[in-house]
Amino acid sequence: MTDVTQQMRNISHHIYIDGQLRKSKASDATDVIEPATEAVLGSIAQTTDAEIDEALASCAVAQRKWWREFSALDRAAAMHEMADKLREMRAMLAEALTREMGKPYKEACDEVDWSIHSLRHSAEMGRNEQGRVMGPAVAGQFHYTLKQPRGTAALIMPFNYPLVLLAWEAGAALATGNAVIVKPSEYTSLTTLLFAEATKSLPDGLFQIVTGGARAGQRLVEHDDTHVVAFTGSVPVGRAVAAACGERIKPSLIETSGNDPFLIMPSAPLDIAARAAAFSAFMNCGQICVSAERFYVHQDIHDEFVKKLVEETAKLRIGNGLDKVDMGPMVASKERDRYETLLKGAMDEGARAAIGGSRPAGFNQGWFVEPTVLVDCTPDMSVFHNESFGPVAPICKVRDFDEAMELANASKYGLGANIYTMDLEETIRATPGFLVVPIRGRHDAPEGEIIGKK
């Protein structure tokens, strides 16, 4: 047992209220399983309604009595202290994140660094961004802007980037004078509780953490004492959150899934394109909403690109994220089961694994899968129309640029897109050509909650 695993065990079944970690009164708990070893790291409480009410009351006091009265300069100084503390905690948080979520240690360190930079950015935005005032409409008219915080922001977080998304959202809320209450993913709650140590520069009660599943998240969304909600996760849950906020005229920030296209044209340098494709498809074991999930490759360079991508994929080292590896396990057995069902469906429809396609040999424990390149794919296959959220790169051969663009946009998702080309005309046409909203104005991904995704 390391110092970090001991800390994780010590905070098991805790919540963070009024500036203190304390044991929850909840009788229900969920084990936290290390995805690389299947060891039990600890447990998280299913926070009670009474504890959530208490946390929100504490948020209100801290925000109204202290934080909203702080100057923008003082708020920025406190947030920079948070960033300084995160820098001190970098190694500890990175190890905790790797153990709890599975990503390689270097990627976990990167995430802590991104969190630090994000907090500093938000601190300075809050200090310096005062907005704009319209000029007078009639002679003698005087305009001014008074910006007011909303109150308490409820943040329902994903598992794949639990620290940097927390820094993005909490940083923006805090910098503008709001309190924050966080409901982390059940897969990364212990790491989030450890993060709380960095918030000691804030007034007690301004930043709170309550753990649990859907019930805790629902209570935060529907509670009268939350005034804005941010949610990152699956389409069905995002739809429910948006509807609940809409009924209450409560502002919400919703991000739900992606199925990003990746286009490779004949002019692209294929060595670079193949490395980029492997990075984009397999980083964080493919558990990123902006992972490349649909590859459309021009017929003239299709075979050569596939060969190079297979070579890049074969180089990837798989294993425990605490070792020198490029790809760790998936976050949970439930997520691996879901992903393998999708992969099997693609193969049943006629796709063939040029490399990968199963579980890696030599792993008797952990939720590992092989990075997979699928060929012989057609654009009607289900893998091209549902978020895989796993390490798979399905490749579809296209005749030309126009067909690639048409297929790239034939999706109910909208989030990110990629094109590799040295042709300036294709670049210019593609830039406004990728749609960034669902083209049919709807989300109809299969039901079944994914606890959280970026």
Which of these is catalytic: 59, 289, 377, 396? 289
User: The tokens of 25 are what?
Assistant: 């009164």
Residues composing the chain? 454
**Is 109 in the active site?**
no
Kindly list the distances between the CA atom of residue 345 and the CA atoms of 36, 152, 349, in Å, as whole numbers in the listed order: 26, 43, 6
* Helix or strand (DSSP H, E) at 51: helix 49-65
Q: Which residue has the tokens 């059940």?
A: 186
Kindly list the distances between the CA atom of residue 375 and the CA atoms of 4, 11, 378, 392, in Å, as whole numbers in the listed order: 43, 46, 9, 11
Contacts of 57 (CB under 8 A, 6+ apart): 225
Contacts of 5 (CB under 8 A, 6+ apart): 41, 99
* Helix or strand (DSSP H, E) at 152: strand 152-156
Helix (H, G, I), strand (E, B) or coil at 388: coil
State CA 47 to chain mean position distance.
Answer: 23
Kindly list the distances between the CA atom of residue 232 and the CA atoms of 119, 171, 185, in Å, as whole numbers in the listed order: 19, 16, 10
Which of these is catalytic: 255, 311, 349, 403? 255
**Is 255 in the active site?**
yes
Helix 424-433 crosses helix 401-409 at what angle (to 10 degrees)? 20
Provide the Cα torsion 166, 168, 169, 175; round to 10°.
Answer: 120
Contacts of 138 (CB under 8 A, 6+ apart): none
Contacts of 172 (CB under 8 A, 6+ apart): 122, 125
Instruction: Give the closest residue to 125 by CA, choosing from 65, 177, 81.
Output: 177
DSSP E strand boundaries for 265-351 = 292-298
Instruction: Give the closest residue to 277 by CA, choosing from 416, 419, 179, 162.
Output: 419
- Are 323 and 36 within 8 A, CB to CB? no
Positions marked active-site: 255, 289
